[in-house]
Amino acid sequence: MYGIGGVRHQVGKNCLSIRNLLCQLIAVGVGAEGGEQRIVDLAVDDDGNGYIDDIYGWDYPEHQRKPAPYPLLSIMEKYKFTPKQLLVVDDLKPAYDMAKAANVPIGFAKWSKLEQPDICKQMQELCDYTFSSTAQLEKFLF
């Protein structure tokens, strides 16, 4: 998965609970074959930047960040996931465009846009799933 609201945390530092959940989401193969979930250990600073991350943020070149599918394609290649084993969770259309370009399902993080009914309506119509709370997302995944 990608971006996840810019989630990135320093090695050894605690994330907020939602960030912990979202950091874990990257590692879970959602809807894996046979109903099993495959966990990948991402708790490694594999690029030596002081962060545990696989984040493709706005500081990347345009062709390597939302709405381009590059982040998802890179993660699928690195961890040997299929599109159906990932789930993008976001609250805006560029993530939808990215997910669909990579044939990855997308969930709308509705909890972050409750005060914006036009965005809620658009994303609920576009996305495969809608999550009204982080607890609902956690229940879906685990």
Q: Residue 52: what pLDDT?
A: 63
67 cis-preceded (ω within 30 degrees of 0)? yes
Share the mean pLDDT of the chain.
Answer: 74
Tell me the backbone φ, ψ of residue 31, rounded to 5 degrees: 70, 35
C-alpha to C-alpha distance for 91 and 112, rounded to whole angstroms: 7
Full-model pTM: 0.69
Instruction: Let me know if 117 is exposed, middle or buried by CB neighbors in 10 A (0-12, 13-18, 19+).
Output: exposed
Contact assessment for residue 38 and residue 32, using Cβ atoms and an 8 Å cutoff: yes
Q: Residue 73 carries which side chain, given as an amino acid letter?
A: L
Instruction: Report which of residues 29 and 102 the model is more confident about.
Output: 102
pLDDT digits (tens, 9 = 90+) for 54-75: 667 777 888 988 899 998 998 8
pLDDT digits (tens, 9 = 90+) for 91-133: 999 999 999 999 999 999 999 999 999 999 999 999 999 999 9
State the pairing for strand pair 51-52/9-10: antiparallel
